Structure 1
Amino acid sequence: MVQIPLWATIWTFSAAVVPLAALLCLPLRRYLCRYVTDNDHVASWRRVALITAHPDDESMFFAPTIVSLIAAGLPVHILCLSTGDADGLGKVRSKEFELACRALKVKEEHIAVIDDQRLPDGLSTIWPLTVVQEHVRTFIQAHQIDTVITFDKSGVSGHNNHIAAHRAVERLIQQNETLEQPGSTVEGGNRTPLRAWQLITVPFVRKYLGTLDIIWSIMQMNIFGGICFISPNADMSLNAMRLHASQWVWYRRLFVRFARYSYVNTLHEIVC
């Protein structure tokens, strides 16, 4: 008897079910998007910074968050910590990043790509925490950011560069008193401290359920807390990712079509 690998079973199931699920969820998507964006946590946000590791992270993993926040009228800034120069395509990928951000409706003056030789793109590369932290700190202070979003400690895909972004933001939260924003005040004159949220890594089986994971994610949010962002347009991630032409290979095409991160993001606060 032929043993069918688990991954093949999941891909086959996703290919058959995800398009149907997308059609079934379409009438509910706008309602659900409004429902999660009205979350009490989001209501207190003023300026949001997304911290990514490579050009294309914003399109592959964070599109539902970006689109939902911009639709809610919140300024979204994106700091990409490297040019993604592993294959010598740093300049090309930086330009692709700009095009993708434009497609996601992020203003050009709100994005930045770091070209630092100490932060080379690489699966096995461990970035110096102090270097990453300083770049993030500088960006946050320059744009008077009060809310940061990045990867969690597993980095969604386990990529060391993703994990470095998380660790740097986590360290800044631990040093909270040095990052209060002088331009942000609350009643009584106290400065508002920086807060940070992490994109949750889900188990492999859920990762490729596409829109089927929306209901499960909302159920978990209602039980365990956190925030869910649901993209009002299922093609936003796909359209943005297409603009990363140098990275538009077959497995990324499959990822953005079937991965739940194209449709829903679950965020939990980083608490130290």
Structure 2
Amino acid sequence: MFFAPTLLALLDSKDAQKRPKVHSLCLSVGNADGLGDVRRHELERSLDVLGIEDGRRWVVDTPDLQDNFTAEWDPQTIANVLRPYVLENRISTILTFDHQGISLHPNHVSLPKGAAHLLSTLPSTPSKPRPRLFSLITVPLHSKYLGPVAPVAAKLALILPGAGASGAPVAVSGWEGYMRALQAMMQHRSQLVWFRWLYVSFSRYMWVNEWVEVPVVPMSASAE
């Protein structure tokens, strides 16, 4: 729903050796309406469309990380869940929401805090640096619903002097990428209420993702 332009940009490389290994980890089955099993299967079908391979995608159902629009998740709990996946799969980069979570959903808002907490506890050496953390930038409301204008504006910002380029990593989809993102979103049938149709029609995040790297302060340094 939010990350399709980036996933497609990473996975659509025609050179298999240069294509990164992309993993998906979802920390909730989305059971707020009692539809957790349905939404787990919908996510699987959506990831099929986007091209994330079996064996590199997981959905976690933990009592302390339940879908809830009124409560943030505990950063330590998030870190505890993330740790084995990050270490066992030798993850080098984590992509997640920023501190506004695009929609201010408290579960989304919690994720960068938990990821940063985990990384702050991991050792880092020149030969084995800790993973990097990037957050998806929440744009102002007036920029969120530009629809097909969004990729044009994003590309202008990249090439025109003074057009607002920030230097942030950016993924921009064309019509083919938008149609793939729409097909992926169509797998989430249980969530396609009326306002999500407006989202898939006009949301910038169906077309453009901009990222910012999150600095990680090692736990030992922050304790001094």
Structure 1 length as normaliser, TM-score?
0.71
Work out the number of aligned pairs and report it.
204
Q: Of the candidates 235, 240, 262, which is equivalent to residue 184 of structure 2?
A: 240
Task: Write out aligned runs for 1:94-109 (5 A).
Answer: 94-109=40-55
CA distance in 2: counterparts of 1:79 and 1:116, whole angstroms: 13
Q: Are 1:204 and 2:150 matched, yes or no?
A: no
| 2:9 alignment partner in structure 1 | 68
Task: Write out aligned runs for 1:52-63 (5 A).
Answer: 60-63=1-4
Q: Classify the secondary structure of the residue corresponding to 1:108.
A: coil
| 1:31 alignment partner in structure 2 | none
Q: Are 1:263 and 2:207 matched, yes or no?
A: yes
Mean CA deviation greater in 133-142 or 155-164? 133-142
- Tell me the alpha carbon deviations over residues 244-269 of structure 1, each in whole angstroms, 9 at most, x when there is no partner: 11111111111012101001100111
The question of whether the paired residues in 2 share the 8 Å contact of 1:70 and 1:105 is answered with: yes
Task: Write out aligned runs for 1:24-63 (5 A).
Answer: 60-63=1-4
Q: Are 1:150 and 2:96 matched, yes or no?
A: yes
Q: Of the candidates 46, 50, 60, which is equivalent to residue 114 of structure 1?
A: 60
Q: Are 1:253 and 2:197 matched, yes or no?
A: yes
Q: Are 1:228 and 2:170 matched, yes or no?
A: yes
The question of whether the paired residues in 2 share the 8 Å contact of 1:196 and 1:270 is answered with: yes
| 1:24 alignment partner in structure 2 | none
CA distance in 2: counterparts of 1:83 and 1:248, whole angstroms: 16
Q: Of the candidates 38, 41, 62, which is equivalent to residue 92 of structure 1?
A: 38
Q: Of the candidates 129, 150, 155, which is equivalent to residue 192 of structure 1?
A: 129
Structure 2 length as normaliser, TM-score?
0.85
Q: Classify the secondary structure of the residue corresponding to 1:268.
A: strand
Q: Which runs of 5+ in 1 are unaligned?
A: 1-59, 181-185
1:214 deviation in Å? 2.2
Aligned CA-pair RMSD: 1.7
CA distance in 2: counterparts of 1:227 and 1:129, whole angstroms: 26
- Tell me the alpha carbon deviations over residues 70-123 of structure 1, each in whole angstroms, 9 at most, x when there is no partner: 013221100000000001111111011101000111112110001111111111
The question of whether the paired residues in 1 share the 8 Å contact of 2:151 and 2:173 is answered with: no
| 1:140 alignment partner in structure 2 | 86
Q: Which runs of 5+ in 2 are unaligned?
A: 14-18, 160-164, 217-224
1:174 deviation in Å? 2.8
Task: Write out aligned runs for 1:146-185 (5 A).
Answer: 146-177=92-123
- Tell me the alpha carbon deviations over residues 202-235 of structure 1, each in whole angstroms, 9 at most, x when there is no partner: 0001000023222433455573211111124221
CA distance in 1: counterparts of 2:154 and 2:73, whole angstroms: 32
- Tell me the alpha carbon deviations over residues 137-168 of structure 1, each in whole angstroms, 9 at most, x when there is no partner: 22111211101100001000000000111111
